[in-house]
Amino acid sequence: EPEVTQTPSHQVTQMGQEVILRCVPISNHLYFYWYRQILGQKVEFLVSFYNNEISEKSEIFDDQFSVERPDGSNFTLKIRSTKLEDSAMYFCASSDWDRGGEKLFFGSGTQLSVL
């Protein structure tokens, strides 16, 4: 069964460093997303991406964040100058449509720890 893959599974970085989180969405999906989940809190929307551009972003997704689809398969989230509060699990997702509407499928996440 096709799945969304994310690398790395864990990333430890120093405050102020840049990190790039990588995702390979399911191949025939057209909409891509990044979500994050701080430990013990709810899953929060960061950004959606369609047709090679951002379609929606949350207030969390400020200038510190950027997304890119550098080729036909990868979808990346870059966090510049990481802060302690960026520590969270970051989930990539892609979506498909059927009679129930659009459905999200998640990758297994990247646990980011900012020290």
Does residue 109 bind another protein (CB under 8 A)? yes
Q: Which residue's CB is nearer to another protein, number 28 or number 99?
A: 99
Does residue 1 bind another protein (CB under 8 A)? no
Q: How far apart are CA 106 and CA 83, in angstroms?
A: 25
**56 φψ region: left (φ > 0), alpha (ψ -120 to 50), beta (else):** beta
Does residue 110 bind another protein (CB under 8 A)? no
CA distance readout (Å), 81 to 35, 65, 66, 75, 109: 19, 9, 12, 20, 21
**Interface of this chain with another protein, residues 10 to 39, rule: CB under 8 A:** 33, 35
Binding site for another protein (CB under 8 A): 33, 35, 41-45, 48, 50, 55-56, 89, 91, 100-109, 111
